[in-house]
Amino acid sequence: MEKYDVIVVGGAAAGLNGALALVRSRRSVLVIDNGTPRNAPAEHVHNYLSRDGVPPSELYAIGRAEVTGYGGEVTSGTVTTVTRPTSTPEDGFVVELDDGRSFGARRLLVATGGTDVLPDVPGLAERFGRDVLHCPYCHGWEVRDQAIGVLATGGMAIHQAMLFRQLSDDVTLFLHTGPTPSDEQWEELAARGISVVEGRVEAVEVTDDKLTGVRLEGGKVIPRQALAVQSVVRARVDFLAELGLKAVDQEFGDVYLGTAVQAGPSGATEVPGVWVAGNVADLRSQVITSAAAGLTAGATINADLIAEETGLAVAARSS
């Protein structure tokens, strides 16, 4: 079984930037990626300095080429389990893939991101990342001055409505299953000219591959060109179960965001030798901040390996 200094699980921004830091420090690195980044439905990446507007697939192709250019390896596959064969930290981990391959690693960087779970409204999933949106910073400019709807399913909806109101004069909040606004919030919505529609949403209307409206129970259709939703993000870490590492619920104030792995500032988890970076640890992280987290984790892993190697060298010299 081939063994590496570090195996990186996940080949999007966080994983590739972590791998890049490691290979530039002359570490042997294997990146394992199954080709399903969280932002796969999006046509472009935004707010990434010098790369604004690049398709996600193009950004990651550039990243893979940079990693392999320094001697790193990238392979396609899905990790099913990670185990620690002995209690000796130096023995590291065994990473098993769904195709039967297995690899050894002294350290592990997990950057598998998350899965967006959308509200249960027919038609949303097919439009997600195009004219069904979740983030004004990721996609807001592209729907500026359009008729925008905001689907309320949790406590983030009014905040979303205010953010999208910055981009368009025509914003409608659909209360759907979300909480009833407080008196103060009603006043704020009115002051900003945000219309409010009560009642449940039944589906979205699509014509010629474009969102054209939101259909309420009873059949009434409110014309809209874009719809903002709040997704719940689930970290993809089931394969870490045998290490005792799992994702836990995350909240922002009183708003439920989803699940993520708890970690320190560098991405170190409670399991020695395992780091996390990107949306798997920070549900609000965008592409550029995920890349930065990957760099931080990669540099910290390299320092951790140096400390281990130095300790072994001292022990060998003293023996």
Task: Please state the separation of Cα 231 from the chain's center in Å.
Answer: 12
pLDDT value for 91? 81
Predicted structure pTM score = 0.94
**Residue-wise pLDDT tens digits, 255-289:** 899 999 999 999 999 999 999 999 999 999 999 99
Q: Average pLDDT of 181-187? A: 97
Question: Hey, what amino acid is at 128?
Answer: F
pLDDT value for 231? 94
Mean pLDDT value across the chain: 96
Kindly report which listed range (60-74, 165-179, 246-260) carries the lowest average pLDDT score: 246-260
Residue with tokens 């930065």: 292
Higher pLDDT, 281 or 88: 281
Report the alpha-carbon distance of residue 248 to residue 260 in Å, rounded. 6
Question: Hey, what amino acid is at 67?
Answer: V
DSSP class per residue in 118-177: PPS-TTHHHHBTTTEES-HHHHTGGGTTS-EEEE-SSTTHHHHHHHHHTT-S-EEEE-TT
pLDDT value for 87? 73
pLDDT value for 254? 83
- In this model, does residue 252 exceed pLDDT 90? no
- In this model, does residue 89 exceed pLDDT 80? no
What separation in angstroms does the CA of 26 have from each of 13, 294, 311?
A: 20, 17, 19
